[in-house]
Amino acid sequence: MEQSSLGLIGLAVMGENLALNIERHGFSVSVYNRTAERTRQLVEGRARGKRIRPTYDIREFVESLERPRRIFLMVQAGRPVDEVLAQLRPHLAAGDIVMDGGNSFFKDTDRRSAELAEAGIQYFGVGVSGGEAGALNGPCIMPGGPREAYPLIEPILTSIAAQTPDGPCCAYIGPRSAGHYVKMVHNGCEYAIMQLIAEAYDLLRSACRLSVPQLAELFAEWNRGELNSYLIEITAKVLERVDEETGQPLVDLILDQAGQKGTGKWTSQDALDLGVVIPNIDAALWGRNISALKGERVAAAKLLTGPDLPAEALDSGFVATMREALYAGMVISYAQAMALLRTASREYAYDLDLAEIARIWKGGCIIRARLLDLIQAAFRRDPSLANLLVAPECAAILARTQASLRRAVQAAVGLGIPVPGLGAALAYFDSYRRERLPVNLIQAQRDFFGAHTYQRIDRPGTFHTEWE
């Protein structure tokens, strides 16, 4: 029997759709899944008549592949990846390539790369974004691993990726865990933008008294302008949806408790380790975490009061204010994500090309947005740009929109509507643009109680004062 171009392990939603995508682009695929039933369902169902070959044990799977073997793992991040690798390893030979397409923690990817490299196996941590539809029709793919082996997987990855006028949404990211790191930060940025959108929805609803159908129309309209992005687009669609049973907007029936699988949290944890400030991602995380305290919030709502919402809705001009505030918040969130990538690139020796990352994020992934054109241009012009906020195109956007961001935050504060994302964006912007921050006082306090010393602005050296 002819050997397959590629093997794929793990036939949950993402794996199944990715296998179909790969086959559709002219590559034969062998598939293997821990439970044989799932494999059978696929080959008797959606894969019928396609060059997708079912295999039912790991050895048969590996032997069905062309050499060097190219194997995509689409299994759950964490221990399942180690388990599959342990099963695979005795059957692999030097030169074979294994790609982990899940949301693995980047330090796990570093460990696995090093372990497999000892046997000459080329390991890639591949960020894949775009959900189920992306996997089938073209995701954004962020592969990291040994550069010399990349040409062996590049034709497959670039052909199955989303395509834009600016090329396929796949590019070599960097060595070792670079691909998974960039995917992790992508997810952190995804959290930040979702939080901002949720706050805009809340304010427009509570303060402007817009109905859900009006909001659906508004987001659809916003998606036709500078806010154009996948997350704004799906927000409009979510708001449009009516529950068939009750006739109410479905969004109103969804429990306000958000889940998470870890990538956003890892982003904040690593940013803290690297000393990079990403308050919008942090705010999105605590926004989700506090939402999880549903029972406590229900009880607190009866005891803790805030300002009453005014009888009159805010004037209609506030809708345009909100659009600009949201845009400013989005720019600031991307700036934080890019700043984290910039530091991580240096710290972990990834040698990231930030313009290229912005380019591949323009299609297929969850944070694709028109704004990425500007971000790509800014980093292409100046690859060592310290912060996106000081790129002329972003500085101009913030000069134009910051008054709206301030007005939105002021309105929310006055009304008692929590806006951790918008507030974080504004505080980040105001801190970053401020020549002098009040930490001179903090330095003095540290020196007061702990003799931590300080530096002076008028002469070099390290100083300590006997404060009492």
Catalytic residue list: 183, 190
The residue to which tokens 């939080």 are assigned: 195
Give CA–CA dist 363/382, Å, rounded. 23
Nearer to ligand 6PG, 88 or 360 (CB): 360
Q: What is the DSSP letter of 244?
A: T
What is the smallest separation between the CB atom of 191 and ligand 6PG, expressed in angstroms? 7
- In sequence order, the 6+-apart residues with CB closer than 8 A to the CB of 342 are 352, 354, 386
- Edge-first strand order for the sheet with 70-73 is 52-54, 29-32, 6-9, 70-73, 97-100, 122-129, 140-144
Does 261 participate in binding ligand 6PG (rule CB under 6 A)?
yes
Build a one-symbol-per-residue string for 126-145: x at contacts with ligand 6PG by CB under 6 A, - elsewhere.
---xxx--------------
Task: Among 5, 33, 109, 263, indicate the residue that binds ligand 6PG (CB under 6 A).
Answer: 263
Nearer to ligand 6PG, 142 or 210 (CB): 142
Task: Among 103, 177, 280, 402, indicate the residue that binds ligand 6PG (CB under 6 A).
Answer: 103
3-state secondary structure of 54: strand
Task: Among 259, 275, 438, 461, indicate the residue that binds ligand 6PG (CB under 6 A).
Answer: 259
Residues between 23 and 62 that touch ligand 6PG (CB under 6 A)? none
Nearer to ligand 6PG, 7 or 102 (CB): 102
Does 195 participate in binding ligand 6PG (rule CB under 6 A)?
no
3-state secondary structure of 165: coil
| Among the residue ranges 16-24, 258-266, 399-407, 436-444, the one whose residues contact ligand 6PG (CB under 6 A) | 258-266
Applying CB under 6 A, what is the total number of residues that bind ligand 6PG? Answer: 13
What is the smallest separation between the CB atom of 284 and ligand 6PG, expressed in angstroms? 10
Task: Among 138, 144, 175, 264, indicate the residue that binds ligand 6PG (CB under 6 A).
Answer: 264
Structural contact between residues 169 and 137, judged by C-beta atoms closer than 8 angstroms: no
Structural contact between residues 127 and 186, judged by C-beta atoms closer than 8 angstroms: yes
Provide the CB-side half-sphere exposure for 179 (13 A, CA): 30
Does 279 participate in binding ligand 6PG (rule CB under 6 A)?
no
Structural contact between residues 33 and 57, judged by C-beta atoms closer than 8 angstroms: no
Give CA–CA dist 222/233, Å, rounded. 9
| Among the residue ranges 124-132, 227-235, 329-337, 403-411, the one whose residues contact ligand 6PG (CB under 6 A) | 124-132
Structural contact between residues 103 and 184, judged by C-beta atoms closer than 8 angstroms: yes
The residue to which tokens 């002819």 are assigned: 2
Nearer to ligand 6PG, 191 or 222 (CB): 191
Chain residues binding ligand 6PG by CB under 6 A are: 103, 129-131, 187, 190, 259-261, 263-264, 365-366
